[in-house]
Amino acid sequence: MTYSKTHPVVNPPKSKNLPLSLAVSFVIVLFLLIFQDTATVIPILGFHGVINNKNFVTQLEQGRMDYPQKDLEKFLEYLLTNDYWFLSSQDLYEILSNQNHRNSDLFVKKKPIMISFDDGYKTVYTNLLPILKRLEKKYDKKVKVVLFINPGALSKKGSINSPNLSCQELREGLQQGFFDIQSHGLNHKNLTRLSNKNLIKEILESQNQLRKCTHNLDPQQKVASHFAYPYGAYNQRVKKYVSKYYLSGYLYNNKLLNRTFLKNQYEIPRLTVNRQESVKNLIEKFDTTFDEKLLKLLDKKVSQEKIKPEE
């Protein structure tokens, strides 16, 4: 078949707007990816005790889960200078459940993070609290930390050698706005191995004792409203009972929280932290804009400044 010269083949005209459309589409996709990374991924870090760097004997005795005081200060100062938003357990609950629109707006504009400490070691009071006060004075910003406490292990009044916090020390940090006090079970037992009766006792008595400790400081009963599973051990039965008394449950599985893939609020993941983890490696787990130059500058400043004991 041949075509007549009077009826030439006509190709469809090329759209002059095609490159512009592709560019706009690329910008939109890029924006959505950036927005999603900012709005959906929340690092929740799980620490334990805080080692005084000068006491090497204590380092050996307390084990690998405790973190050096100087490194922790440098880490927190990095977060402050990079405008991170230190979430309380209630902040995160409201974000996940979309109950607080004001927090949701902040969530888009700032970088959220949660810093948690398990088990209630006294070094959180003796070695961490002075750092929090010092950083607040320096930056006029408050670093709030979430404490998952076993009230059955709190030190008694007059106890001198106990490795654990006392109720009075918890109250002091709460009153000053640094501590968010939540439950870690009464006596840090593996809940999956308990009978229903003992399981209920562990999670309910923990809540009762923590609220009794802080009763006149916590009119809205935000204390012991959220729960971290001891050892990170849980199953459907444990979640069922925890959900009767608490608003959310935290794991200890060395994973980042991604809201897109979170099944429910009783399986909130946390990154595990031990003293073998350098500050640089810790930050690189969640901060895609990590600036090593800033970290080196902070390292130099922290080394030059003496951590003053609480007066």
Q: What is the pLDDT of residues 196-206, one digit of tens each?
A: 999 999 999 99
Query: Which structure tokens are listed for 34?
Result: 């950036």
Q: Pairing state of beta strands 179-183 and 84-86?
A: unpaired
DSSP states along 72-126 = HHHHHHHHHHTTEEE--HHHHHHHHHT--HHHHHHHHHSEEEEEEEETTBTHIII
Average pLDDT of the chain to the nearest whole number: 85
What is the model's pLDDT at position 5? 45
Is residue 89 within 8 A of residue 113, CB to CB? The reply is: no
Beta-bridge mates of residue 23: none
What would the mean pLDDT of 272-285 be, rounded to a whole number? Answer: 92
pLDDT at 311: 43
Identity of the residue numbered 217: L
- Token digits of residue 14: 């090329």
Q: How far apart are CA 212 and CA 170, in angstroms?
A: 12
Q: Over 50: is that where the pLDDT of 248 sits?
A: yes
**Looking at the DSSP assignment, which residues form a beta bridge with residue 118?**
148
Q: What is the pTM of this model?
A: 0.82
Please say if the pLDDT value at position 147 is more than 50: yes
